[in-house]
Structure 1
Amino acid sequence: MKIEDIINQINFRSNPKSALYFELFIQNLLKLHLEKQGKQFISDYVIDGNRLDGYSTNGIGNYEGPVAFEIKYTHRYNPMIMRYTVRQLTGILDSEKIKHMILIYPADSDKMRYFLRNENPNLILWGITEINGLIDANKEEAEYIANSLFKLEIKKELNRRDNDWKKSREELLTSVKKAYKKGNISLLLGAGVSCSAGLPNWKTLLNSLYTNFVNKIFNDDTVDDDTIKAITNKFIEINNNSTLAIARYLKAGLSQKDDDIMFISAVKDALYSSQRTSSPLIESITNLCIPKRSGAKVKSIITYNFDDLIEESLSKVKLEYKTIYRDEEQHDSDELPIYHVHGFIPGRESFDREASLVFSEEAYHKVYSEPYHWSNLVQLATLRENNCLMIGLSLSDPNLRRLLEIAAQKQSKNCRHYAFIQRLSNDSLIDDSSCVKINEASVNKILQTHHIIQEKMMESLGTRVIWFEDYSEIPVLLDEIRK
């Protein structure tokens, strides 16, 4: 294995973390190499406020200590960045707190070596030749490090974190505010938004439909309500591992196709059967959509819900909008487009008899397999062109995750989307009634690791996580964005 092979590995699909992974590889390789010699290596060492990638009091090879290391990796050589780096490193050398500064950069350039020697004879370049020398001296270990970069990234994050996630959240909200002020925000809304106003969640909706299905079969009232309820709950529990499969089962029992009038009527009855409540969350979303003097700040709304609660709320503040739930629909420039990508069932008006719902498993498969389906095109264009703020979404929809990944591959290194996600608490993992004694410190570490991995997973989809503990926090955070 050579450094060229590792660079090809970390650059796979233009990985935005290639610079981080190169740094991790070199840091861990240096640590291993120096420990074999009985010397200490310190990662992320700070000298006079400057964070360096490594430090060794006892030196390395022919270079007496103390020695500092700076690791640089770029897809293309940038003279301006390199000159700035050299000036910074020369300044640290002039402080006389270290004897040698080794700049590790995967290139062999005699011109660069000459340039560094002229700046300061104790500023040394380690290029491809020197890096491969380190790898050859530690072949098996180097291969293990190269194959463990994600795990090493998580470990580094755990060591670095001060666990002040609320401080990080404020920084993310500042970024969202900037995008909002520029009028480049699109809102992606999930079931959590509708549930905040008393509408049923996915499981409750399926429960209601199953009751409808049973009543349809036993229309002679031979099955009492309590029995139906008990069986329904057990049915949902047994099949809870695949709600889409349950939906397919129910759709087969209630109709034959997704645009069947009887089926949509059953969904409408189940959707709007519960009493609506006032929703601070929907109010805050509505306030975000109200144009300011400088113009509209929300470009569009994509909702994965069937209901018209957002439309109803926007109507109350007399905001012009256009509900779009099929390919033929268009909106005017003064209208806020609201895309119902899974279908639309209005509460007080009659539904479109020619409309279809993306409700059951086969409907999802159809949309998933048609790249030019209008809903896929709308979502992909929005994800590529705008900063998206996701509210009330579990982000478990495989099609949405697929589109996020496609959009992320076409974007720059920076994540441009944001998602509100609830943090897990100790109580969610510790069962007081359990006979097994669980160490709370271990639970805290597991939760911290879980949250870091979830952040990294979402970053791979071009999305930053805005954490919250209780759903009541979201309206407050949205109001902060509007300020």
Structure 2
Amino acid sequence: MTIDKKKFIEKYVKALESNTAAIFAGAGLSCGAGYVNWKTLLNEAAEELELNIDKEEHDLVGLAQHYINKKRSRGNLNTVIMEQFSTRAELTENHKLLAKLPIDTYWTTNYDCMIEKALDSEGRIVDVKRNQNQLTVSVADKDATVYKMHGDIDSIDKIILTRDDYEKYNLTHPKFREILEGDLLSKTFLFIGFSFTDPNISYILSRIRLVLEDNTRPHYCILKEVEEKEYDNTEEFMYAKIKQQLHIEDLSRFSIETLLVKDYIEITEILESIYKRYRRKTIFISGSATEYLPFNSETGKYFLHQLSKKLVENDFKLVTGFGLGVGSYVINGVADYINSNKKSKLQNHLNILPFSQDSSGDLDLKEVWKKNRLEMISECGMALFLFGNKEKDGKIVLADGLEEEYKIAERQELVRLPINVTGYKTKNLSEQYNEEINIQFKEKILKMYNEINEYKCDFSNKQSIDELVQKIVNLVIEIKKTK
């Protein structure tokens, strides 16, 4: 069964939001980093055996076994593998994107260290499981686990390589099997760069299907569609096309839906869409206010309270730097929602990173503020700009911090939404960056955004303010749904 791109992105983002997403990475993921695939790796071995690698590509495990049988040692093959994987490789964009996603479970049959390297570069604490013994201990405060079920280049003599290794796997690696079976039952996997000819995976998937019958959990894989230009003649192409379709139908037995892509670059685009869509669940609230004109003090605070409450009611998470005259009412709005929904937890709906107001020791306050802003904004997918004024020397002036936050949001590719009707620096931003703000949106969303900025609100009337709030909420809901 195939799935279209839009539906797949939607479903996988839901898995991310429910903390049930997982990755299973195969050799194809690392090919973009310069590592060779198994067919290339075993080409010389095939030549020594006087076999045609093209005819053996569906039984490379058997080919490796034949080669070792002939050599009566796996030393030569280990050397070839070590030479190929000892070269330093740069992280691919796909590795970087996978590491940025809020996924805590990564499985791989690869010997290289690209996944853990990518996670480490994102500042994540990684627990790498290379062998059976490591499964019984855990790294403190880990936020990602990488299961290397076929071993690691650092223990070349213990990698899973031959038919003999595969046949004994159930005896030599029972805990890996048990944990993978559990994850396949409880998580939604994306198989990427992976071949389903691996006998271990076929066995595990079959076993789960037999236990659960038709109640298996949905999983997804991305495969490149076969193209005629890749074959010598039309007959070979049609044969490959039929075989791929049968393969897709076979995967559906295990509740694995297949997304076909025309080109490998599409995989990067899909991962980027998933990452951006997921981030849009989190909204950065930029704003400060000593006064709230054209609102009065009471209705200005009411607006902030209701807006925050309605956003979290619609499953958004808010991030704020506790801006003066804004942060308190954002917190109050979220707290109001949580008080009426006992199962909700504050940390699931709000992240607060207050700005220190006084320096001490060798602390450079401006550098701290800069770092705080980047940390807050980089986890978000949208930014709402509200009000933007402060008191200086007894006068109300525009708050320049909003523009700094706007520029960071632009660099981090957030959807930027200055709510013009709140005035002050926000109105200034709306006018100054009008063209680039508008270019972010498709026609429907641009119309909704303009309706907010043109809305004739009665700023002293709570019902009218509620209508304004709902228009803003409807806008961010629509943006979240777009690619």
Structure with higher Rg: it is: 1
TM-score, normalization by structure 1: 0.50
TM-score, normalization by structure 2: 0.50
